[in-house]
Structure 1
Amino acid sequence: MVKEATAQAKLGVGVETLWKALVEDLRFIIPKLMPNTVENIELLHGNGGIGSVLLFHLGPDVKIMKTQKERIVELDETKHEFGLEVVEGIMLKRGFSSFKTTFNLSSMGEKETLVDIKVVYETERDGEDEVEMKEAATKPALSFLQLLEKFLLHSSS
């Protein structure tokens, strides 16, 4: 059964700066943000647009597996909407049978952006603790956005 979890984050970074980091520079920024979790990201297929496949080479903090594949499934610059779907990887070993995260960015001023996060997922078993699964679905995206905000604020100063 398809389920959905949502969350919001308000970041002290302008929408264009955040969009560039999230969409254009994602492969290069994530290993800097989380070097023990992601060593590097390789573009396996495509040019960074819809349908492109990214291969995350995972770091020493990740014991379960060494890689994760994600496909870009949404990319709308006018709406500032970006979506990634896990094709194979760690999230599919943690009780999820499908997992797609969409980020929608809205400008709240020159140096402030509201990010709406929507995670659409399926679980392997019915009867999973719904609250626990929703938290497990949104927590990685929220943690990532906090790290990204710190990185962008630090690199602009």
Structure 2
Amino acid sequence: MGFASFTDEYSSPVGPSRLFKASIIDSHNLIPKLLPQGIKSIELVQGNGGAGSIKQVNFIDGRNFNSVKYHIDELSEDKFTYNYTLLEGDALVDKLIKITYEVKFESASNGGTVSKVTSKYYTDGDFMLKEEDIKAGKEKVLMMYKVVEAYLLQNPDAYA
């Protein structure tokens, strides 16, 4: 089995509690409203939304992907941590067994947030992912965070 790991950091002027609530806890409601041009819905397939739950993201028709399912491995509202595993869907190309993500929101000195995201790719055999595919996925996630951030900055009472 092949393995690759990447860690990225993003900064936001929005505090970690609000950013975590909006982008993680209430993502199933907020993200489809903010990104209707890409995401049709986010459904809870199993569980109550906490650790052990399974969610499915359904993309609008005509996209590269139809849907993805992921398992919530850990969710801590106190520590602002969120770990999940992509289980199935169009994003798991041939020879890609799974992708795990570890997300942590930390307080920044300016009152905002430093988001640390570690993604781990597990591949079948000695298959290697293309760097441009990984970069494209990261850019989509960053764009989603920026859309949530913009919403929170425009709506200072939301998720307070």
More helix by share: 1
Question: Could you tell me how far 1:112 is from its partner in structure 2?
Answer: 0.7
For 2:119, the equivalent position in structure 1 comes to 119
Contact 2:6 2:118 in 1 (8 A): yes
Question: Could you tell me how far 1:91 is from its partner in structure 2?
Answer: 1.8
For 1:10, the equivalent position in structure 2 comes to 11
Amino acid at match of 2:69: K
| Structure 2 residue 92 is matched with structure 1 residue 92 | yes
Q: Alpha carbons of 1:22 and 1:129: their partners in 2 closer, same or farther (altered >3 Å)?
A: closer
**Greater displacement, 43-52 / 27-36:** 27-36
Amino acid at match of 1:77: E
Q: RMSD of the alignment, in Å? A: 2.3
Q: Structure 1 unaligned runs (5+)?
A: none
For 1:20, the equivalent position in structure 2 comes to 21
User: Aligned pairs, how many?
Assistant: 156
Question: Could you tell me how far 1:151 is from its partner in structure 2?
Answer: 1.8
Question: Could you tell me how far 1:136 is from its partner in structure 2?
Answer: 4.1
| Structure 2 residue 41 is matched with structure 1 residue 34 | no
Question: Could you tell me how far 1:96 is from its partner in structure 2?
Answer: 3.2
Q: Alpha carbons of 1:101 and 1:33: their partners in 2 closer, same or farther (altered >3 Å)?
A: farther
Q: Alpha carbons of 1:127 and 1:56: their partners in 2 closer, same or farther (altered >3 Å)?
A: closer
Question: Could you tell me how far 1:124 is from its partner in structure 2?
Answer: 4.6
Contact 2:95 2:127 in 1 (8 A): no
For 2:53, the equivalent position in structure 1 comes to 52
Question: Could you tell me how far 1:70 is from its partner in structure 2?
Answer: 1.3
**Greater displacement, 14-23 / 88-97:** 88-97
For 2:77, the equivalent position in structure 1 comes to 77
| Structure 2 residue 141 is matched with structure 1 residue 138 | no
What TM-score does the superposition give when structure 2 sets the normalisation length?
0.83
What TM-score does the superposition give when structure 1 sets the normalisation length?
0.85
Q: Alpha carbons of 1:82 and 1:151: their partners in 2 closer, same or farther (altered >3 Å)?
A: same
Q: Identity of paired residues, percent?
A: 26
